[in-house]
Amino acid sequence: NAQLLFNQIPKGEPTPETFKYNTENKIDLEQKLDNGAHIVKIICVSLDPYMRGRMRPAEVKSYSPAFELHKPLTGHGVGVVIRAAADSQYKVGDHVYGMVPYQQFVLIPGQQKVDEESKKFLGPQVGLRVIKNEEGLPWSAYIGAAGMPGKTAFMAWKEIADAKKGEVAFISAGSGPVGQMAIQLAKADGLKVISSAGSDEKVAFLKELGADVAFNCKLQSTSHKTDDAKKIFAEHGPIDVNWVNVGGKSFEEELEFMNMHGRLIGGWISAYNGESYGVRNLFQFVAKRLMMRGFIVGDFEASLAVLQQNINAKYVDDFYATIPKKLAFGDLKFKECKYDGLESAPKAFLEMLAGKQSGGFGKVFIQVAAD
């Protein structure tokens, strides 16, 4: 039962030693199952920037739990139930989505411990959600465009953007799974979209997604890097909705080009490996009456990690009723970047975080097994 273990807390950028691929673990797939238990074969797991934040000492608190040293990493995955106790809430053959340990097979105990408050919002499927996939999407889509990052874009757009036709949106890191969806949602609402990414190939893709203006942030002299970005914002701005995927020094430039009463959706990948850049022009918030709000998708989506908190699942039904169909019909585009086998995960994670995926770009995931 191969696993991807959290091996070492990184200082700054993670390294291959942050992880350990472990082939020693054993699981008895024929064992007797009772009390609602089931065994899931993992098909694919997601690698996401927020996981860098979980690579920290346990005593440092944050919105998502720290990974446990020498235990499997956990995160969003899709699997198929291969065995189920007679009283399990799942059937053999059910495909399920949710937080899972990164290993080939997972024994999941019954859900008796689920608290009543969570059940009220989410129904019985609190831990793992059964995915019917009548749309025939690849299973990986359910951890990407139709999964956590897609939900981040969909829910934050509804919750914070307050978008109006004719306004201007700026979306950094536009070729990642959140950016891809955000660009298309903004276009669907009639906004003009400016977006940036780190290579010419990515920039071409931003245009395919519908971005009106797209630029390569790595070609410029500092972070977004001075003149080119400034010229673009001066010509095509001011920005009404700023999706701050990257943040840092480039954010300082963006603030100068925000419109009055602009809205900003918080993210800050530029600081994930170290100290945050000290933005010097925050007075722009006062002068322009700006509103920025941090957003954590877990506040709006079920996962085992957040069962004990209050979850407001108000967007979940709408998301699953609309987004997978649009992806399947091609009304929304999505691009994925696949790595094969859990042993490829350390390389894949480092490349994803740096934006240098050897196998292309888009939503990075690990294909653990065929479906």
Contact residues for ligand NDP, defined by CB under 6 A? 48-50, 149, 152, 173, 175-179, 197-198, 202, 217, 245-246, 267, 269-270, 295-297, 352, 355
Q: What are phi and psi of 5, to 5 degrees?
A: -95, 155
Q: By C-beta, is 104 or 195 nearer to ligand NDP?
A: 195
Alpha helices in the chain (DSSP H): 116-122, 148-156, 177-188, 200-209, 227-236, 249-256, 283-287, 316-329, 345-354
* Distance in Å, CB of 39 to ligand NDP, minimum: 29
Minimum Å gap between C-beta 123 and ligand NDP is 22
Rounded to a whole number of angstroms, the minimum distance from the CB of residue 189 to ligand NDP is: 19
Closest-CA residue to 245 (of 297, 194, 171): 171
Shortest Å, Cβ 112 to ligand NDP: 29
Distance CA 162, CA 241 (A): 8
- Minimum distance of ligand NDP from residue 85's CB (angstroms): 33
Q: If DSSP codes are grouped into helix, strand and coil, which group holds residue 281?
A: coil
CB of 302 to ligand NDP, least distance (A): 14
Helix pair angle (148-156, 177-188), 10° resolution: 40
Give the shortest CB-90-to-ligand NDP separation in angstroms.
26
Q: Are 334 and 138 in contact (CB under 8 A)?
A: no
Q: How many CB atoms lie within 10 A of CB 117?
A: 13
Q: What does the alpha-carbon distance between residue 58 and residue 66 come to, in Å, rounded to a whole number? A: 5
DSSP assignment string, 72-133 = B-EEEEEEEEEEE-TT-SS-TT-EEEEEEESBSEEEE--STT--HHHHHHHTT-SSSEE---
Choice between 74 and 245, CB closer to ligand NDP:
245
* DSSP class per residue in 120-173: HHHTT-SSSEE---TT---GGGGGTTTSHHHHHHHHHIIIII---TT-EEEESS
Q: Specify the residue, 50 or 233, whose C-beta has the smaller distance to ligand NDP.
A: 50
22, amino acid identity: N
Q: How far is the CB of 59 from ligand NDP (least distance, A)?
A: 22
Residue 258 or 352: the one with the smaller Cβ distance to ligand NDP is: 352
As a whole number of angstroms, the longest Cα–Cα distance in the chain is 67
**Cβ proximity to ligand NDP, 261 vs 356, nearer residue:** 356
The nearer residue to ligand NDP, 31 or 308, going by C-beta atoms, is 308
Residue with CB nearest ligand NDP? 176
Quote the CA–CA distance of 124 and 114 in Å, as a whole number.
9
Comparison of 122 and 171: residue with beta carbon closer to ligand NDP: 171
134/275 with CB nearer ligand NDP: 275
Please identify, using beta-carbon distances, which residue of 114 and 296 lies nearer to ligand NDP.
Answer: 296
Give yes or no for a contact between 51 and 63, defined as CB atoms under 8 angstroms apart. Answer: no
Nearer to ligand NDP, 138 or 355 (CB): 355
**Minimum separation from the CB atom of position 352 to ligand NDP (A):** 6
- Of residues 193, 150, 149, 152, the one with CA closest to residue 171: 193
* Whole-number Å distance between alpha carbons of 39 and 27: 10
Give me the least distance between CB of 83 and ligand NDP, in Å please: 32
